[in-house]
Structure 1
Amino acid sequence: MSGISATRIAAVLIKEFKQLTRDRLTYAMMLALPVIQLLLFGYAINAEPRHLPTAVLVQEDSAFARSIVTALKTSEFFDLTVQARSVAELDDLVRSGEVQFAITIPGDFTRRVVRGDKAQILVEADATDPTATNGAVAALSALPAQALSRDLRGALAQRQARSPFEVVVHRRYNPEAVTAYNIVPGLLGVILSMTLVLMTSLSMTREAERGTMESLLSTPVEPIEVMIGKLAPYVAVGLIQTVIILIIARTLFQVPMEAPGPGLGLGIALFILGSLALGFLISTVARSQLQAMQMSFFYILPSILLSGFMFPFRGMPIWAQVLGEAIPVTHFLRVVRGALLKGQALPDMWRELAALTAFVCVVTALAMARYRRTLD
């Protein structure tokens, strides 16, 4: 046996570098993934979101009420985006997820402050994600001491000695701030993405590597027929996974399920179809199972970080929220959490269902176009 040769090592080394340059997709992903991770974790992740959309219902026109509204506007935690006209409108805004907070200033607020008669304002927080509201709720403790500091003068100055009013916080949908109520329903979208996209792309790419796809391409089967036949078994797999996850969520974690209706079923069906179509699309691009796996994780990583699963969605900068809106997991998580925790009906989630429908149509069309080019 001859000794170690630096020449032979150099020859193998040069061969490997040439192989890397030939496999440009793998090489690009190796360089892009660390950069994407640094950008996402460095800029997009924020566990204490600020400037949260807030609706306010002012039931009296008074200087005190205007001072509270002004104090909320100057706060870095609240953005007063809606001036509600009724309690029902305020409730709809919170349930639909359009606002994170709903603040009510009652009609007898000024009279109670002047008399020292336990004046209160009501703050309703959408606590489906407790992390998203904790910082803002904590900031409310300083509101009574600051909001009316310029109004309570003269004979009313004594009211400033102690809190002139009380902030009553009502954490809706998750009053005990149980993290599992937010995480476990969100896991449904992440698990379906990881299994369906990955399994489909690997399965289709494996057939291409083994040559069985060539036999299929020689038959008069239409691309849409191939897609339906190949993906139908995985639809059943996705439905079984969904049932198992929901049963575990209810029995082990006591996740409340507020009479989920047809909106949840439609959202699950659209998300499963979209994930499978994406896996099919990846298989038409990838040349090997390794590339299929890399491309799948290239999709799954942003889905976990930018969808609102791990970190509050509204805590991310605007550019990250725009990217998150393009990810189907974002819309699916809103459908699942809205149906299970808020009892949302079909009209409440039409925007998310429309986004999922658009994703299915676009990805299916791209997959069919790529498959036809493979046939040619």
Structure 2
Amino acid sequence: MTAVGADAPKPGAPIKEPRFGFLRRTYAMLVKELIQLKRDRLTFAMIIVIPVMQLLLFGYAINTTPRHLPTAVLLQEDSDLGRSILKALENTAYFKFTREVHSVAEFDDLLLSGRVLFGVEIPRGFERAVRRGEKPAILVAADATDPVAAGSALSALGQIVQTALMHDRVGGDPANPPFEIRAHARYNPAASSRLNIVPGLVGTILTMTMLIFTALSVTREIERGTMENLLSMPITPVEVMLGKILPYVGVGFIQASLILGIGVLLFGVPLRGSLAMLALLSTLFITTNLAIGYTFSTLVQNQLQAMQASMMFFLPSILLSGFMFPFAGMPIWAQYIGECLPLTHYLRIVRAIMLKGSTLENLQYDAVALLTLMLIAMTIAVTRFRRTLD
């Protein structure tokens, strides 16, 4: 007993640090965090998916000098010279003729709706005027709401097209072509980047905030322990979803109004279309994003995972919607992905209404696409939440 008492530490004496104690404790925490990371599949997926996604998108999908842009042609006469000009335009690799129209109204409607970015008009009597030496003009109208997409193609018109048509000239000085090309940059003739970016920021900011608001809704209930009370109430999944979404519709509407007001007053962005139609379609876009965020909240287990899922959705929305890079310059597979994103359709809507003065008839495709995406997201959310109720 005496020996044991002699070996015991005296009261108040410092406890002797075990050998390699710091390293052992640090190693234990390291192992614990690795196990937790392994169990958190969403976080582990983000570690792999996000860098791979960025590499693939920037490497394959992003193109700052877009080519093969959709173009309509109004060919008022079918002549050899007219066909040679169209072929020369295609040979520049900037233009891809996807539509042939038969009237100026149809020509303008395609540009207003955004279904084409360029329109080429070859007037009646063009070849005869060339042979007479009258130097007629070809009109190339461009949708310049996106200056990056239109700028390179317009700058190539003067030299590339006329050089390609050297063999079609009817004599004369090579430096003085027998016709001229008149480029008309519509909707944004000054090629101001802020007229393109500021309306796009409306959709970008709404996407980020609306996703986060509702992505946290169900997981917040679970983490706070109030989900049990909610499940015990005589309430249907649809009523729960609408009750959580509708308050944020007003929040999103306030955000959109604030951004648009600043854009018009401070940055001089015009509002050429109907404000009521813009408000209606903006509400549809807000509701669609809220429904997608609510769907995420029914798929994940905690608020951290909800934030991670929102960011994984937000990244391709920014890159593939046409906000940062021209949509028409992306490969076909990237455009298909972009068509599944609400931001892609809303960017077309807000830019078309503000800069072009487009009507609902011009934008019916994008409006129907937003409505379809909203209904799909709500169906998935209600189905997932019904399982929770059961």
- Fold in common (TM above 0.5): yes
> Which stretch of structure 1 is more off in the superposition, 137-146 or 162-171?
137-146
1:91 maps to: 108
Which of these residues, 10, 23, 36, is aligned with residue 40 of structure 2? Answer: 23
Number of aligned pairs? 373
Q: Deviations 1:83-111 (Å, cap 9, x if unpaired)?
A: 22121211111111111111111224224
Displacement of 1:122 in angstroms is: 0.7
Q: Deviations 1:1-30 (Å, cap 9, x if unpaired)?
A: 736533332222221111111111211122
Amino acid at match of 1:58: L
**2:123 is the counterpart of 1:106:** yes
Displacement of 1:262 in angstroms is: 4.8
Amino acid at match of 1:331: H
Aligned counterparts, 1:129-144, within 5 A = 129-144=146-161
CA distance in 1, matches of 2:164, 2:36: 67
Contact conserved, 1:67 with 1:147, CA < 8 A, in 2?
A: no
Contact conserved, 1:112 with 1:119, CA < 8 A, in 2?
A: yes
Displacement of 1:143 in angstroms is: 4.2
Contact conserved, 1:174 with 1:181, CA < 8 A, in 2?
A: yes
Aligned counterparts, 1:357-372, within 5 A = 357-372=371-386
2:76 maps to: 59
Q: Deviations 1:127-176 (Å, cap 9, x if unpaired)?
A: 01010111111111124532432223xxx422424232221110011111
Structure 1: segments with no counterpart, 5+ residues: none
Which of these residues, 293, 308, 322, is aligned with residue 308 of structure 1? Answer: 322
**2:55 is the counterpart of 1:41:** no
Contact conserved, 2:198 with 2:263, CA < 8 A, in 1?
A: yes
**2:258 is the counterpart of 1:241:** no
Contact conserved, 2:92 with 2:160, CA < 8 A, in 1?
A: no
Displacement of 1:254 in angstroms is: 0.9
Q: Deviations 1:239-270 (Å, cap 9, x if unpaired)?
A: 11111111111101111111325542332121
Amino acid at match of 1:179: S
**2:295 is the counterpart of 1:284:** no
Displacement of 1:272 in angstroms is: 1.1
Amino acid at match of 1:96: S
CA distance in 2, matches of 1:144, 1:363: 47
1:116 maps to: 133
Amino acid at match of 1:19: Q
Q: Deviations 1:322-364 (Å, cap 9, x if unpaired)?
A: 1000111101111111111111111111111111111111100
Which of these residues, 210, 228, 231, is aligned with residue 224 of structure 2? Answer: 210
Displacement of 1:200 in angstroms is: 1.6
Amino acid at match of 1:21: K
Contact conserved, 1:113 with 1:119, CA < 8 A, in 2?
A: yes
Displacement of 1:285 in angstroms is: 1.7
Aligned alpha-carbon RMSD (Å): 1.6
Contact conserved, 1:261 with 1:345, CA < 8 A, in 2?
A: no
CA distance in 1, matches of 2:36, 2:109: 58
TM-score, scaled to structure 1:
0.95
Q: Which has the larger radius of gyration?
A: 2
Aligned counterparts, 1:172-321, within 5 A = 172-260=186-274, 262-321=276-335
CA distance in 2, matches of 1:320, 1:263: 29
Amino acid at match of 1:322: Y
> Which stretch of structure 1 is more off in the superposition, 7-16 or 27-36?
7-16
**2:177 is the counterpart of 1:163:** yes
Contact conserved, 1:261 with 1:346, CA < 8 A, in 2?
A: no
TM-score, scaled to structure 2:
0.91
**Helix, strand or coil at the partner of 2:49:** helix
Residues 145 and 360 (structure 1 numbering): CA distance in 2 closer, same or farther, change over 3 Å?
closer
**2:353 is the counterpart of 1:339:** yes
2:94 maps to: 77
> Which stretch of structure 1 is more off in the superposition, 45-54 or 142-151?
142-151
> Which stretch of structure 1 is more off in the superposition, 341-350 or 295-304?
341-350
2:26 maps to: 9
Q: Percent identity?
A: 53
> Which stretch of structure 1 is more off in the superposition, 107-116 or 17-26?
107-116
CA distance in 1, matches of 2:246, 2:168: 67
Contact conserved, 1:257 with 1:343, CA < 8 A, in 2?
A: yes
Residues 159 and 114 (structure 1 numbering): CA distance in 2 closer, same or farther, change over 3 Å?
farther
**Helix, strand or coil at the partner of 1:319:** helix
Contact conserved, 1:263 with 1:335, CA < 8 A, in 2?
A: no
Amino acid at match of 2:145: T
**Helix, strand or coil at the partner of 1:324:** helix
